[in-house]
Structure 1
């Protein structure tokens, strides 16, 4: 079987940094570019190769279909397995599953594919060893605005009341800090990365899109593309619906009204090296109070997170994904 090859562009990001909005703009304005977002198939295939080495189509089909984001494409086990059995290794499988998704999205004759998956930050060395040519775009956002959005946004693919950050500001700050550290190491080891500030995207989206097109060495779209939500499935529309509205520049500072004072103090004290213009002069007493409140929320946040993990992996029978994640964590 002839397996197509694609030029991959990886959009790396912390959640709620504007990656979906940027994806929409690129899907509408870049010629010869397909956008695949909110699915973990690429990460799963790379992770499986990293941990298990051997190419195992049957196990991989089960593993990929345990991802709720991939399930949304409504592929059957037989379809996925048939595609994987035609491949000899993980790299071919990545190309083959990518082809499946593009066909499902009715996208044809496209060579350049943008993968929007912030979690791939942990697998860039493996990606670099597998693919000779690829590009990385990193979109970042003021951590106060980013964490504010995470704390007030429902978690996709999860029934019940829950924020993406589990109402746990310490967890959010830890994740943001770790992610930026990983991006710094990637930039030193891999090199050319296009970094975009969400605030710049909001102020002048046309200029930012042009910068991306230049970086990717693509051409602007010459056709009037009808707005499509192919890269945004129904489960996530409720949290990403703002991408269809004109950018509201005032929203970049919404955190000033929506975060509590102690939350601002906590974020700015923990991430001061990543915030050039802290808003509050912190007294030691205020800092101690904010640390106490954050720790209190962290306890409940971790309880809720672990309940979610039990439901998602153990009660729903997603054991392949569970054991892969355990092995990955032990391998770090």
Structure 2
């Protein structure tokens, strides 16, 4: 089975792309979004994982419940993984899900956008995997994040509800993916806008680059999302909603657009997204928007940190565990 990992900034159309792949090609298994591909990076790529370590990693993934696997399944997963290295574990897990479905698949897609920040550890842990990066206009990403609740953190908006934070993160991510591609890394780039305008052409191009044989594999069932994520993926298996492509123009405030375009200039230029508001705004208004955006960013950051502190009381043991975890993983994360 071919391993495919989908990389993205949240609200960039990754679920829609996954749905389109699953609907058109019945031999592609699309897994629900889980954190496992990134959590596996805590282990060295060439060091086998022990059973208790695998179980601990799975328990840390709060999204793993969407797979509906049992303790017995974990035991089987451990036994069936040929090398118990990250890539083998992902493939064995896909095989387990395929067995539950009573189906055979030629490829499996794992959605794990945050894993892209961990290159080159990601590439080292999954040496034969193919990678797809789906990107979307930063203003549409910011707009969607501002209107979407975090499914596993009630009361919180995605991207902290902060255009500054989301736009800056978007710029870092997409420019990082572009730099990797230019350096020769095999990353398939997919534009969400192009996917909506001409899904057949985009999907065919992706399949060709993946070198998958899909001659008879047409007519898949789409994908299902976890109950807790249904509110943010209401249109997952519907046709493209082209009216949403430019919805940000009527929904974002002036300062939110200015902040997004200013902080994401490099990424927008690289991907061919044209600035609009920034070109027609006076210097005074532009500066005022940035100033307000920064003040709001400071407020949103402090509110987020305080909320997390109050929600999760940190005992000395937990604090020690977090420090050890950060020391172990800080060198894995790419610095782009």
TM-based fold match above 0.5: yes
Give the Cα separation in 1 of the matches to 2:232 and 2:215.
28
Contact 2:55 2:74 in 1 (8 A): yes
Aligned to 1:249: 242
* Alignment gaps of 5+ in structure 2: none
The DSSP-based 3-state class of the residue aligned with 1:273 is: helix
How well do the aligned residues superpose, as a CA RMSD in angstroms? 2.9
* Alignment gaps of 5+ in structure 1: 1-5
Give the Cα separation in 2 of the matches to 1:214 and 1:57.
37
Cα deviations across residues 96-149 of structure 1 (Å, max 9, x unaligned)?
333334344x15321311111111213342343344433222111111111111
Alignment counterpart, residue 69 of structure 1, candidates 63, 74, 77: 63
Contact 1:66 1:318 in 2 (8 A): no
CA change 1:12–1:213 in 2 (3 A) is same
How far residue 151 of structure 1 moved from its aligned partner, in angstroms, is 1.4
Aligned to 1:194: 188
How far residue 328 of structure 1 moved from its aligned partner, in angstroms, is 2.1
Give the Cα separation in 1 of the matches to 2:318 and 2:44.
19
Contact 1:170 1:295 in 2 (8 A): yes
How far residue 201 of structure 1 moved from its aligned partner, in angstroms, is 1.0
Aligned to 2:10: 15
CA change 1:314–1:327 in 2 (3 A) is farther
Aligned to 2:329: 328
CA change 1:250–1:292 in 2 (3 A) is same
Q: Does 1:237 align with 2:257?
A: no
Number of equivalenced pairs: 322
Contact 1:151 1:167 in 2 (8 A): yes
TM-score, with length taken from structure 1: 0.85
Q: Which runs of 4+ in 1 moved over 4 A?
A: 85-88, 307-310, 312-315, 317-323
Cα deviations across residues 263-308 of structure 1 (Å, max 9, x unaligned)?
1111112222333421122333223222222222222322343356
Alignment counterpart, residue 258 of structure 1, candidates 237, 251, 260: 251
Give the Cα separation in 1 of the matches to 2:74 and 2:212.
31
- Where do 1:78-227 residues align within 5 Å? 79-81=73-75, 83-84=77-78, 87=81, 88-91=83-86, 92-104=88-100, 106=101, 108-158=103-153, 160-220=154-214, 222=216, 225=219, 227=221
TM-score, with length taken from structure 2: 0.84
Give the Cα separation in 1 of the matches to 2:113 and 2:322.
18
Give the Cα separation in 2 of the matches to 1:188 and 1:128.
16
The DSSP-based 3-state class of the residue aligned with 1:37 is: coil
